[in-house]
A and B are shown apart, each in its own frame.
Chain A
Amino acid sequence: MVYITSWDDFVEKSVQLFRADPEKTRYGMKYRHCDGKLVLKVTDDRECIKFKTDQAQDAKKMEKLNNIFFTLMARGPEGNIVSRDYFTNQLIYPMQMSPFIYLFLVNRDV
């Protein structure tokens, strides 16, 4: 188990894990209100990566990762899926594009 300190690395590695084995990989989050701590975890039971934070701004980033995983997991990892967020009407990007373009899109403040 490894705690990853860089958010971008965490996003990239977590999505790589999922794409390598979509049936086995799960994405979990643990929130502890009394300590104000948030831990994200992605594992396929062979590899496990984690990211922990106490910062509210990281929760915003997590929202984007949530959107990515909901889209990938509900629609399947293959489909070409650029969809729109139901409320905000923002574009939700799939992982079909190159990781560089993708990371650019994820990190962009929309």
Chain B
Amino acid sequence: MVVQVRLQPDPFLNELTNMFERTTEKGSVWVTLKHSSDKSKVQRNKMKTCGEKIEYRCLVRATDGKKTISTLVGPKDHQRFQASYATILKARMTALRKRERKDKRKAADSDKKEDSKIRSTASKTTN
């Protein structure tokens, strides 16, 4: 059975951090964003026929495969939420590779240096 826990944005972010911590050794974290009114299609159709305005918010769901949490982010708080979310991602997604090209260049440079050192010492010994 899947139990989905609806949280306020701040507790959601805390729990998301925990999920990232729990899955460092093994496992994955999924985060899904959806434009949602949090109402069923029947409800929405009723509201439409009554001419009521349907409010949409951003539904954010997260899971580590065992536990699922969700929250709704509205137009007033999405900027603050996305800033905190970005901070968490930056802090937790550290297993991704930094630019490879630079590393290769550095390695190549150091190889060359060693080569030239060997050559210079070799030339010294021959002299």
Size category, B interface: 35 or more
- Chain B stretch 22-60: residues in CB contact (< 8 A) with chain A: 23-36, 56-59
Known contacts A22-B35, A26-B33, A71-B78, A36 near B89 by CB under 8 Å: no
> Are B34 and A66 in contact, with the CB atoms below 8 A?
no
A34 and B81 CA atoms in complex are apart in Å by 27
The reply on B86 being an interface residue by CB < 8 A is yes
Query: Main SS of the interface on chain A?
Result: mixed
Q: A72 contacts which chain B residues (CB < 8 A)?
A: 35
- Across chains A and B, the number of contacting residue pairs, with CB separation under 8 Å, is 125
Query: Main SS of the interface on chain B?
Result: mixed
The reply on B99 being an interface residue by CB < 8 A is yes
> Are A56 and B98 in contact, with the CB atoms below 8 A?
yes
Q: How many residues of A contact B (CB 8 A)?
A: 43
A25 and B49 CA atoms in complex are apart in Å by 24
- A and B contact pairs by CB, cutoff 8 A, 5 listed: A28-B31, A56-B99, A67-B82, A70-B81, A74-B75
- Spell out A's residues near B (CB within 8 Å): 18, 22-23, 25-36, 38, 53-59, 62-63, 66-67, 69-77, 83-88, 92
